[in-house]
Structure 1
Amino acid sequence: MLPTPDTSHVPYQRVYEPAEDSFLLLDTLSSSSETAFLSSRFASPSPFSPSPAPLILEVGPGSGVVIAFLTAHASTIFGSPHVLSTAIDVSPFACAATNLTVSKAVSENTSTSGFWTSATQGDLVSPFRPGSVDVLVFNPPYVPTPDLPAPPPTGLQALKEKTTFEEDSHLLELTYAGGRDGMETTDRLIEALPGVLSERGVAYILLCAQNKPEEVKGRIRVMGGEGKWKAETVGTSGRQAGWEKLQIVRVWR
């Protein structure tokens, strides 16, 4: 079992704390079936004809536990340490926490780590060039809510040393409030996949039962024409807990 990155430094009053959904992603991405899939897709065939280093992106990393895990254990998960990883989050506090989480994990796993760039504040995949992302991981705000909260202000000036209770509550609301069917943010991300993923690109998206995952997978499979995209469940919490039952869907061409 690969060690879980340390997140003891994360300010959980304003940044999402690793929970069942986070650990399901870790278990799924490090499973034998997924490491075999990812290694076959991204590991260089030989040192004399290497494939381009894949770009690994986590959207909404929160504490950074998932992208730190992928970066620190790149050799095991992707079959090669030659990966470039990054993250993007609307919260400047999540970006700061992620940078520290990944830095600590990499320093503790130097022999297996990929190369980490930084976490950037932004909206979904908007800063990335078309076709630039090879592996995208998204643990979205998936709880059905009447409305979506407004995004926080952007820029370094938003990273204040002290925040109010209301500001902290708003930041945490951003991590779980998914709007109608809990899918408003996830639908935006899915719509962006054909543009941002490379030809060999793959996305891992977490869904709960109230997100209607079978319908979601059906919609993905007809994007751009029948049979162009695949969407399969590759990990599940396995619990009969109503709408809180979770699954990881892999999306690829």
Structure 2
Amino acid sequence: MLPTPSTSHVPYTLVYEPAEDSFLLLDTLSSPTSLTFHTSHFPPSSPTPLVLEIGPGSGVVLAFLTAHANHIFSRPDILTLGIDINSFACASTAKTVSLASQDHPTTSGEFLSAVQGDLTSCLRGRQVDVLVFNPPYVPTEDLPALPERLREKKEGKVTFEEESKLLELSYAGGKDGMETTDRVIDNLGDVLSERGVAYLLLCAGNKPEAVKQRIREMDNAGEGRRWKAETVGTSGRQAGWEKLQIVRIWRE
């Protein structure tokens, strides 16, 4: 089993703490079936893959992928990048990845940065080879907004209300818990490279079977390649439903 990166330095009043969903991603991304998929999809002779995590939070998943790149992708020349709307999460991710890479210098890929941004809006099109997204998936009445002062990066101590808003951003997903996730799904064709693959975490309330079917029916701009979506990791069943699952998405 590959060691989990330390996140003891992360301010959990401002940044989402690693939980069951985080660890399910670690287990899924490092599983033998994922290793086989990655090795065939990104052979050593192919160009260097770019790995993006949207909303890395503490950075535990991105640090895991970076530090253990040679184990997970069968090659160490991996570039990793994080994008988070929470600037405190960006700072935490950068430190988590740095510490993990120092602990595993012979297997580690190259970390580019953790930048503050809204999902993938700051990226050039079709550059991402591996996209990982543990979204705000809890069904809620509304989507929270980033506090204005933090959005404008103004100085000053973060208030309790602002702390609560930052944490709410990490889990509140709006209708069916899918409002943020839908934005990413709708944009996959413009974000992923030709060989790109996405790993998306869903909960039972997100109606995952309907989500997967919707992805399979997405238009691929006349390229003649169909989208595939399959569950590759689960946290077990509760009342007959898979509580959490990881869906792999790619083009045939």
Question: Which residue pairs with 2:12 in the alignment?
Answer: 12
User: TM-score normalised to the size of structure 1?
Assistant: 0.94
1:32-65 deviation digits (Å, cap 9, x = unpaired): 0001101211131xxxxx3110000000000000
Alpha-carbon deviation of 1:151? Answer: 2.6
C-alpha distance in 1, partners of 2:73/2:12? 30
Aligned residues: 248
User: TM-score normalised to the size of structure 2?
Assistant: 0.94
Contact 2:41 2:195 in 1 (8 A): yes
Confirm or deny that 1:33 pairs with 2:33: yes
Question: Which residue pairs with 2:228 in the alignment?
Answer: 230
C-alpha distance in 2, partners of 1:69/1:102? 8
C-alpha distance in 1, partners of 2:240/2:142? 22
Query: Are the structure 2 counterparts of residues 133 and 104 from structure 1 closer, same or farther at C-alpha, using a change threshold of 3 Å?
Result: same
Question: Which residue pairs with 1:247 in the alignment?
Answer: 245
Q: Where in structure 2 are the equivalents of 1:40-55 lying within 5 Å?
A: 40-44=40-44, 50-55=45-50
Structure 1 unaligned regions, length at least 5: 45-49
Q: What secondary structure, in the 3-state scheme, does the structure 2 residue paired with 1:119 have?
A: strand
Alpha-carbon deviation of 1:152? Answer: 4.2
Out of 56, 60, 69, the position equivalent to 1:61 is 56
Q: Where in structure 2 are the equivalents of 1:1-253 lying within 5 Å?
A: 1-44=1-44, 50-153=45-148, 158=153, 160=155, 162-224=157-219, 228-240=226-238, 245-253=243-251
Alpha-carbon deviation of 1:162? Answer: 2.6
Over the matched positions of the two proteins, sequence identity in percent amounts to 67
Q: What secondary structure, in the 3-state scheme, does the structure 2 residue paired with 1:149 have?
A: coil
Amino acid paired to 1:168: E
Query: Are the structure 2 counterparts of residues 141 and 242 from structure 1 closer, same or farther at C-alpha, using a change threshold of 3 Å?
Result: farther
Amino acid paired to 2:204: A
1:67-109 deviation digits (Å, cap 9, x = unpaired): 0000000000011001100000000000000000000000000
1:192-227 deviation digits (Å, cap 9, x = unpaired): 100010010000000000000000000000111696
Amino acid paired to 2:88: F
Query: Are the structure 2 counterparts of residues 217 and 159 from structure 1 closer, same or farther at C-alpha, using a change threshold of 3 Å?
Result: farther
Q: What secondary structure, in the 3-state scheme, does the structure 1 residue paired with 2:238 have?
A: coil
Question: Which residue pairs with 1:47 in the alignment?
Answer: none
Query: Are the structure 2 counterparts of residues 195 and 161 from structure 1 closer, same or farther at C-alpha, using a change threshold of 3 Å?
Result: same
